[in-house]
Structure 1
Amino acid sequence: MKVFISADIEGVTGVTSWGETRYGGQGYEAACRQMTLEVAAACRAAMKLGYEVVVKDGHEDALNIDMTELPKGVQLIRGWMSSPASMMGGLDESFDAVVYIGYHSPEGTDTSSLAHTGEHEWFNYIKINGELASEFLYNALLATDYKVPSVFLSGDEGMCQLAKKSHPEIITVATKKGIGNASWNIHPEEAIENIEAGVEKALKANVGLRPVEKEYHMVINFKEHQHARRASWYPGAKQTDSNTVEYTAKTIWELTVARMFLSE
């Protein structure tokens, strides 16, 4: 039995400003430590139930997690594989479940001071089949393509609510809620305890797969019209106004590849 853990930092309790998410920024080291401890809690829960655990560091240069603080036996993927899978690089059909730690609200929402989808400076919003797209939604779709259920997510309250909307059976733990440029956080130790208990509960539950759609229509609204024009050159993409590009994929993998070139 195998569990894949995809980890980000903006949904970790206490993390509020962009500086805390970037190398050299005020509070970055503390944010990395809490990210590590929340991931470690998820690892302990899975290993307690007999799962092999693989962790993908999915933030910035993917060099944030201190692997010496993870339980012995955990495998950690650092850096990027230069693959459309991005934050899910390493996932395949051999896994039994995916867990998401430290995830955040998407661009186009007001439930996190750090709301974004991919590059914060590029987009006003991204939608897939009319649904506001988060990094979780992209990654959970890819998991579905591999027939691996997404069973647990921790992060800000807004992201937890969106995850429940698209994946009603998923177990979530809200580490904080966003109000303007502020975050209202639970205590770090409480977050760790809740995540460990939540992951154990999720892995014991029979969480199903999201149904596969016949096609995936992606709408990307760029903040700068130049980026929309550039993206419009991707085969099959269509620029529908000064700042918007649309693309329809027949499969999840086709959508994943298109996103790599259209939005990064």
Structure 2
Amino acid sequence: MKVFISADIEGVTGVTSWCETRYGGQGYEAACSQMTLEVAAACRAAMKLGCEVVVKDGHEDALNIHMTQLPKGVQLIRGWMTSPASMMGGLDESFAAAVYIGYHSPEGSDSSSLAHTIEHDLFNWIKINGELASEFLLNALWATAHGVPSIFISGDDGMCRLAKKSHPEIFTVATKTGIGNAAWNIHPEEAIEKIEEGVEKALEAGMGLMPIEKEYNVVINFKEHQNARRASWYPGAKQTDSNTVEYTAGTPWQLRVALMFMTEI
């Protein structure tokens, strides 16, 4: 059985400020180390059950995870494949489960000091079918389109609650609670232990796919009106005001392709 792990950094315990998420920033190396340890915990859980594990580094330039600190046998995808898959690059129908480590609340929410969707500096919010869209939602829909169930997520408490709302069966581990510009974090070792235990339980439980909707209405509110104008040229997109563009997709695949071209600007 193959397990796909998609990893981000803003939902890792202890990570609180933007400088900790960026190359050369104060605390960045420590954040990468904890990101690696949390990913390694998920890997151990899957390998304990005899699974083959592929990890996708999904933050910034996707060069954050320390490969030598992962269990031997784990395969790590670094860098970007320049495809709609984005943080799910490498996932296909051969995988039995998708796991998400270090995920964070979406842009427009107040449950994380690092809340964003795709790019913090570009969007005020992105909504899908009227709900704030998180990177988890976008990536879980991509997994669903490939017939792969999303079984576990770790990250801030707000993200875990949103994941449960869209996919009630999913197992979660909240690594922190966001309060304004602060993060109330659990101990790093506790996060590692809970992630390993949670992933193992999720794999043993098994679960179905996230439900697929008949259509996906995406509304993107850009910080700069120029970017909204650029995005409005995508076929089928409509600019509804100075900073907002709307598009309706029939499938998760169409949704991700549209977002790739409308948001990578």
Which secondary structure state, in structure 1, belongs to the residue aligned with residue 118 of structure 2?
Answer: coil
Distance 2:244 2:14 in 1: 34
> What whole-Å deviation, never above 9, does each CA across 1:149-194 have from its counterpart, x for those lacking one?
0000000000000000001000000000110000000000000000
Following TM superposition, by how much is the alpha carbon of 1:206 offset from its aligned partner in structure 2, in angstroms?
Answer: 2.4
Residue matched to 1:235: 235
Question: Hey, what does 1:75 align to over in structure 2?
Answer: 75
Matched to 2:20, the amino acid is: E
Equivalent position amino acid for 2:93 in 1 = E
* Residues matched between the structures, number: 264
* Deviation at residue 110 of structure 1 after TM alignment: 0.5
| Aligned residue in 2 for 1:252 | 252
Q: Deviations over 1:231-252 (max 9, x none)?
A: 1011110001111100011111
One-letter identity of the residue aligned with 1:68? T
Within a 5 Å distance, the mapping from 1:2-81 to structure 2 comes to 2-81=2-81
List aligned pairs for 1:124-135, cutoff 5 A.
Answer: 124-135=124-135
**In the alignment, residue 231 of structure 2 is paired with which amino acid?**
A
Q: Distance in 1 between matches of 2:222 and 2:183?
A: 26
1:54, 1:223 → 2: CA distance?
A: 35
Give the corresponding residue for 1:262: 262
- Residue 134 of structure 1 and its aligned partner are, at CA, apart by 0.2
How far apart in 1 are the matches of 2:128 and 2:94? 27
Aligned counterpart, 1:138 = 138
Following superposition, which runs of at least 4 residues in structure 1 exceed 4 angstroms of deviation?
A: none
What's the C-alpha RMSD, in Å, of the aligned pairs?
0.6
In structure 2, what is the equivalent of residue 174 of structure 1? 174
The two structures have a TM-score, normalised by structure 1, of 0.99
CA distance in 1, matches of 2:251, 2:113: 33
TM-score, normalised via structure 2 length: 0.99
Deviations 1:18-46 (A, max 9, x none): 00000000000000000000000000000
Shift of residue 225, structure 1, vs aligned partner? 1.1
- In structure 2, list runs of 5 or more residues that go unmatched: none
- For 1:62, what is the secondary structure of its paired residue? coil
Letter in 1 for 2:70: L
Question: How far did residue 74 of structure 1 move?
Answer: 0.3
Q: Secondary structure at the match of 2:239?
A: strand
